[in-house]
Structure 1
Amino acid sequence: MEKNVFFISGIDTDAGKSYATGFLARELNANGKRTITQKLIQTGNVGHSEDIDLHRKIMGIDFTEEDREGLTMPEIFSYPASPHLASRLDNRPIDFDKIAEATRELSQRYEVVLLEGAGGLMVPLTEELLTIDYVAQQGYPLIFVTSGKLGSINHTLLSFEAIRSRGIELHTVMYNLYPTVEDKTIQEDTQAFIRKYMAQHFPQAEFVVVPEITITQE
């Protein structure tokens, strides 16, 4: 097991995982930790990963050699759906050995690898394998992305229960302020509630606030 690989998941497909992943990679690089991002499985694209594109924009860097080699986006499916369905529609099974080998190679070239999943923790990768079970099998510490939108407390606490039941290490919770909301009441209360809950139940985990970032569109 690679000790420098962290899996990034979130409360749902709109939690802002790619946004948070790019932000964290940028911050780690700025603090001297040579960091790369990887997408576990990209759906809804052909030939490239739009999530890796976003990571690089936020990081402020061009495509890397590893991007061009395909190591950061080892499995791409065309239909915008969960991996188990996208794989079925493309009539091609997910090559988990290829993914694992790409992750291992990245972990040898970089100090930190941020491995972003697809959707939330319970998203099926195959008919038999959920994302959360893949994380548990690989033994990756988890970086979990949540936000201040209505319903986030419920989704976050349910995810915490699933994480605990599988013995996964909750390394960091990233509280995403993006996208911007006009009414900050729910956002601020949700942050305070999750902070307090973590202090009681996951005191070892870090809490990071992801600020609103302006992304320059080309």
Structure 2
Amino acid sequence: MSTVRLLLLGLMATFSVAVKCRDNYKYNVYLLFDSSYNTSRTDWNRMKAFTSKLISTVDVGPNKGHIGLGQFSQDLEPIFDLSVYISKTTILQEITGLRQLAPQRATGQALATVRQLGYLTNSLHGSQADAATVLVLFLGGPSDNQTLAIREATHLRKEGVQIFVVTYPVNLPEAAAIAGSAARVILLTPLGIIDNLLLTLLNLLCT
């Protein structure tokens, strides 16, 4: 087993969130990773571990959860969209296999692409009507153009997309502006805060 996978499993073991979902719940979630290599390797792996915990907790399928995955540095690189009903195992493998790309952190451009192409709002990309629609943005540091990032996030929220940002304390002001509330910013330290906010996210998806 690789060192990275062992680290991810170890980090996942520190999370203790449990939530019971209703039988007929469904959701649309797009996981958007900041793949700038300005993020430290340890922090990068912690972001992936958090995502793996989320995926391991919820149901995925045509009439349940639709999950999309993308990463960005200079440009958005879609991995799969909501219409691809792949197994949890495959999703976790894709997350584990993500690699850091480049020094740029063009968050605003990535959010604009998600919005303009309807990755979370267009049924052609697998968006379900009458379902919680959530963008989970993993942000390793300040965006290259914070004004653009906040503006595009505001447009997404007006379209009914709820945004959570997983980041670090130093980046809280921008993250709160993107999410629309500091309550939807998930700080990767300390672990207790991660558990509390992961529970908030899971309750949103499951109830």
Relative to the length of structure 1, the TM-score reads 0.42
Larger Rg: 1
Relative to the length of structure 2, the TM-score reads 0.43
